[in-house]
């Protein structure tokens, strides 16, 4: 428009200029034609008026043109300022804005947020003129071609879609694209869209979906667990009630004892189930505590082996143990939780193995000046685990092959509890299994130590002359491994003839032989083995009638071997008649049992009967104080929770009587308690107790307590 106005103004000026020239020539000529003379007759005023009018019009046109031009410039500046403000506004938006040419799909504009979404720093250098497809993969994760998908969205007009895009470094991410209008931008027909990186949001949705699925699965597993738990709890309760009823009706002592023993096993199974449920409840509530303290490795191992051995009575499965003698004697950690975790795995191995063997090995690897990684490896020849079930092995309430294992006790919490304990102790647990062949569980835990004094050592090991005559391959290999670990040489005996020839030529210092083979070759051993120390290898609870021979109940590992070879090993008698392990008799010892429940008194009294000691009973704290005052007891078992005066108060009062007689200070008082939670040991020790024994009473632990606290001069080893 401005150009047109300037052209019209120039034409007007030309016309005025031409007329002025014409008139001037007409007036200035003194002679001329008649036509020129005619102009002279026109009045000068008229001509002047015309010229002035033309000049006025010219002036008005010029002024108007200046005004219009000024307005146009102002308008152009306003448009430019508005565009600049819009650009600044787009650049300041927290969401990514992109303008894309619809004609050739080139990028015309991206704000700062959009550059950040795509990992760019400069629009001019990295984006302008680039194709939008350059920031997208050729194909989307679902297999669709990106170009076809974009065309489909373009035909739809406004749309909101999530697509996979590429950052400048070609890293893929999920982008939400929102477009609602078509615009004209710098002469281009373009599309304006909002771009958002929703990768984190998509991941959050995925996690929510997986969590919902897991919660649904967990609810299903818990429902199945509750149904299974109901069955598992009812089964041992029914066995307990039924066996006791049969025992009451039965007159023959042997049959009655069998019924009672079965009831006891059912009660132990029930107790295991209840303990698992309680432990799992503590873990879910975040109340499981790891309480480290110094502990003796030998005590831990003996407990584990003894507990598993009692579960394998009458089993055809061989139980072998291999323990590295170089493990420090004393470690620092939570012995209770460690025992529980390893025992759970061992129990599982025993439960799911019907034939073959269960092997338990322990070794250590020193890491620095005060830490050793202790590795427990449990291998069995049981049913094994399917590959698809391995990842779910440590989940809560999980059991596999329910149809195949319907007769196996358990509610699917043992391994979940074990995994939580190992994790809380900064350890690792793994499993390698082949379905139908067996499994190997490996637990590795860091434990502190103060001294590297090894667990076991044989004096003058190179001077020992040892023979092994054991046809059970698993046991023979285990004993050989332990002797190698102790750096002791040995010779395998292959047959009775081989034994005869070797003993005739060179009698050995020690002969490790199974009881069955001893009976067959007793004549040879007595003839040539006058200076030979014979060690009978017996199955647990196998009755041994031989005298003057050492008996080692299998499995045998470095601790017992070192004791025997060093001349300090004790012979133990294991009988199947009462199910107890009795390491000594104490007919001169006198023991007091304090408990407010008569059944508990009778149970504890019965457990002490095999030791032939004199036992007195009290049913309250006051009576206990009076009994201790009038009788010199060698040991007191004191119940914790009793009405009136509890065991803690009674013990404190007994200790207060020591001002006049040190007997009251030194008498061993053992707490009997059903409260076996962590920290209870310290509470009892702080209140005058010497030790504690948890209910229900474990006969193995009872034997350890008695041996530890009864006077040595009242313990008789000849049984």
How far from 190 is each of 108, 128, 152, 165, 649, CA to CA, in Å? 8, 14, 17, 20, 90
**Residue 677's pLDDT is what?**
46
Helix (H) / strand (E) element for 418: namely helix 414-424
Among 5-19, 98-112, 605-619, name the one with the lowest average pLDDT. Answer: 5-19
Answer yes or no: are the C-beta atoms of 312 and 359 closer than 8 Å. Answer: no
- Please give the residue that has the higher pLDDT: either 27 or 172: 172
Q: By C-alpha distance, which of 420, 442, 419, 421 is closest to 431?
A: 442
Q: Which contiguous run of DSSP H or E holds residue 551?
A: strand 550-553
**Residue 514, phi then psi, degrees to nearest 5:** -70, 155
Contact 418, 344 (CB under 8 A): yes
Start-to-end CA distance of the chain, whole Å, equals 128
Q: Summarize pLDDT for 119-173 with one digit per residue, the tens.
A: 898 888 888 888 888 888 989 988 889 888 888 877 767 778 888 899 888 899 9
For residue 573, pLDDT beyond 70 = no
3-state secondary structure string across 72-104? HHHHHHHHHHHHHHHHHHHHHCCCEEEEEECCC
Q: What does the alpha-carbon distance between residue 198 and residue 96 come to, in Å, rounded to a whole number?
A: 12
Among residues 91, 136, 137, the alpha carbon closest in space to that of 114 is found at 91
pLDDT > 60? residue 227: no
**570, 634, 279, 588: which is closest to 424 by C-alpha?**
279
Q: What is the pTM of this model?
A: 0.49
Stretch 686-701: mean pLDDT: 81
pLDDT of residue 419: 83
Count H helices and E strands in the chain, helices first.
23, 24
Check residue 189 and give its pLDDT: 84
Strand segments, DSSP code E, in 236-313 are 293-296
Task: Report whether pLDDT(695) > 80.
Answer: no
Q: What is the DSSP string of 295-341?
A: EEHHHHHHHHHHHHHHHTTT-SSEEEEEE-TTSBSEEEE-HHHHHHH
Lowest mean pLDDT among 304-313, 377-386, 610-619, 648-657: 304-313
Which pLDDT score is estimated for 265? 58
Percent share of the chain, pLDDT over 70: 72
CA distance 287 to 677: 11
Q: Report the 10 Å Cβ neighbour count for 537.
A: 25
Angstrom distance (rounded) from CA 622 to CA 370 = 49
What is the pLDDT at residue 68?
Answer: 76
CA distance 629 to 622: 11
Would you say 341 and 421 are in contact if contact means Cβ atoms under 8 Å apart?
A: yes
Q: How far is CA 293 from CA 326, 331, 557, 673, 678, in A?
A: 21, 8, 25, 21, 11
If DSSP codes are grouped into helix, strand and coil, which group holds residue 707?
Answer: helix
| Residue 78 pLDDT level (bands cut at 50, 70, 90) | low
Q: What is the mean pLDDT of residues 651-657?
A: 92
Contacts made by residues 249-258, CB under 8 angstroms, sequence distance 24+: 257/577
Tokens 């060698």 belong to 634
The overall average pLDDT reported for the chain is 78
């Amino acid at each position: 428009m401005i150009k047109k106005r300037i052209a019209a103004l120039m034409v007007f000026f030309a016309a005025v200029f031409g007329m002025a020239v014409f008139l001037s020539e007409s007036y200035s000529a003194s002679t001329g034609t008649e036509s020129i003379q005619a102009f002279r007759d026109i009045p000068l005023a008229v001509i002047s008026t015309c010229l002035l009018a033309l000049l006025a019009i010219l002036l008005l046109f010029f002024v108007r043109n200046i005004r219009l031009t000024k307005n146009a410039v102002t308008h152009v500046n306003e448009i430019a300022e508005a565009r600049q403000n819009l650009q600044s506004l787009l650049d300041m938006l927290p969401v990514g804005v992109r303008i894309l040419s619809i004609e050739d799909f080139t990028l015309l504009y991206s704000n700062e947020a959009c550059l950040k979404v795509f990992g760019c720093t400069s629009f001019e250098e990295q984006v302008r003129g680039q194709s939008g497809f350059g920031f997208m993969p050729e194909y989307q994760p679902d297999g669709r071609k990106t170009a076809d998908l974009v065309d489909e969205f373009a035909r739809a007009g406004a749309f909101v879609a999530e697509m996979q895009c590429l950052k400048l470094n070609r890293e893929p991410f999920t982008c939400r694209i929102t477009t609602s209008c078509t615009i004209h931008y710098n002469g281009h027909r373009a599309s304006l869209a909002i771009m958002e990186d929703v990768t984190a949001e998509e991941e959050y949705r995925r996690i929510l979906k997986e969590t919902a699925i897991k919660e649904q699965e967990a609810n299903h597993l818990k429902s199945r667990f509750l149904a299974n738990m109901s069955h598992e709890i009812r089964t041992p309760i029914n066995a307990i009630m039924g066996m006791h009823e049969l025992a009451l009706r039965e007159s023959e002592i042997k049959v009655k004892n069998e019924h009672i023993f079965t009831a006891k096993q059912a009660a132990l199974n029930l107790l295991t189930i209840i303990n698992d449920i309680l432990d799992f409840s503590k873990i879910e509530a975040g109340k499981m505590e790891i309480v480290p303290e110094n502990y003796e490795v030998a005590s831990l191992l003996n407990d584990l082996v003894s507990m598993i051995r009692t579960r394998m009575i009458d089993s055809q499965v061989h139980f072998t143990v291999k323990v590295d003698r170089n493990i420090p004697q004393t470690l620092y950690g939570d012995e209770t939780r460690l025992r529980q975790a390893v025992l759970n795995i061992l129990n599982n191995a025993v439960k799911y193995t019907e034939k073959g063997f269960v092997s338990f090995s322990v070794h250590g690897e020193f890491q620095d000046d005060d830490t050793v990684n202790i590795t427990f490896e449990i291998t069995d020849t049981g049913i094994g685990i399917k590959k698809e079930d391995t990842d779910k092995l440590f989940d809560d309430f999980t059991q596999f092959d329910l149809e195949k294992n319907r007769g196996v006790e358990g509610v699917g919490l043992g391994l979940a509890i074990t995994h939580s304990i190992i994790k809380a102790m900064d350890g690792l647990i793994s499993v390698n299994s082949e379905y139908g062949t067996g499994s190997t569980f490996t637990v590795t835990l860091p434990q502190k130590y103060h001294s590297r004094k090894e667990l076991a050592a044989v004096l003058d090991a190179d001077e020992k002359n040892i023979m092994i005559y054991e046809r059970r391959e698993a046991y023979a290999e285990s004993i050989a491994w332990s002797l190698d670990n102790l750096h002791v040489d040995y010779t395998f005996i292959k047959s009775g003839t081989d034994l005869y020839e070797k003993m005739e030529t060179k009698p050995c210092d020690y002969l490790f032989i199974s009881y069955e083979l001893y009976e067959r070759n007793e004549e040879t051993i007595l003839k040539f083995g006058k200076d030979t120390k014979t060690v009978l290898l017996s199955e647990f609870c196998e009755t041994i009638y031989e005298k003057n021979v050492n008996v080692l109940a299998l499995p045998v590992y470095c601790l017992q071997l070192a004791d025997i070879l060093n001349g300090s090993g004790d012979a133990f008698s294991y009988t199947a008649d009462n199910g107890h392990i009795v390491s000594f008799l104490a007919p001169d010892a006198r023991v007091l049992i304090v408990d407010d429940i008569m059944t508990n008194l009778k149970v504890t009294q019965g457990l002490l009967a095999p030791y032939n000691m004199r036992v007195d009973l009290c049913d309250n704290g006051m009576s206990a104080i009076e009994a201790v005052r009038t009788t010199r007891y060698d040991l007191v078992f004191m119940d914790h929770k009793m009405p009136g005066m509890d065991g803690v108060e009674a013990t404190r009062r007994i200790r207060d009587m020591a001002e006049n007689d040190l007997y009251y200070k030194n008498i061993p008082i053992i707490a009997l308690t059903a409260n076996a939670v962590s920290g209870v040991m310290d509470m009892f020790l702080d209140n005058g107790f010497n030790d504690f024994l948890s209910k229900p009473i474990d006969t193995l632990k009872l034997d350890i307590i008695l041996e530890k606290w009864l006077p040595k001069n009242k313990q008789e080893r000849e049984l």
